[in-house]
Amino acid sequence: MQTTNVREELCKYARKIVAKGMVVGPGGNISARDGDTMLVSPSGFALEEIEPEQWVAVSIQDGTIDAPPGLRASSEVLMHLYGYQVNPSIGAMVHTHPAYSIAFGLIGEDLPIMFPDQAALTGKTGFIPYVIPTTELLAHAVKEKINTYTTLLLGNHGLVTVGRNLREAYYRTEVVEESARIYLLAKAAGTPKVLTEQELEDIRALETEAYRIKLLQQQK
């Protein structure tokens, strides 16, 4: 995909994130791979305000930043950069502050798998206890788990998801947030019923789920 299209896709999903209430104000940051470069949101911007030419280019190999005049890369640039460096299959990373995901992270670490979309699209979600945001400590903590999980809850902070493209990373964000919401609602009423390992395997083996995942990996 050429740079112009990547920038337009970033704007599209940035606005989706805001429209879904996954961030408030200038919170959150997203990025996408463009060859040997990652394009990341500029610091201090509300995601819906970013124009195509304002995404900041960063060399994946050495971290060299090429920012438009007067702009700087997101304060979480290292978290994104380390992810691309350690896992070449990552095509996009989405970091948001969804309310239910944050709420779940305040009371638990292991988000159970409860329904088919969660089983097929995200699988088990990893957890990172609170680390000071924007620091290299957080970037390293994400780096250590990003080869194992496609979704990571950050304790007292938010959610990180990755995908082979922005579409996949974005929909994983939606699924984790919905999972956290369902869990909290069910927990308030009783004991949530989680899927067994056999039930998870049965879902993953469905041809229809494989087809849906294939579609998600096609950028739209």
Active site residues: 76
- Report angle CA 5, 216, 4 to the nearest 5 degrees: 5
Q: How far apart are CA 77 and CA 83, in angstroms?
A: 10
The answer to whether the CB of 90 falls within 8 A of the CB of 82 is no
Cα–Cα distance measured from residue 211 to residue 206, given in angstroms and rounded to the nearest whole number: 9
Q: Which residue stretches of the chain are H helix? A: 3-19, 77-86, 99-107, 116-121, 136-145, 166-189, 197-204, 207-216
The residue behind tokens 């290299």 is: 136
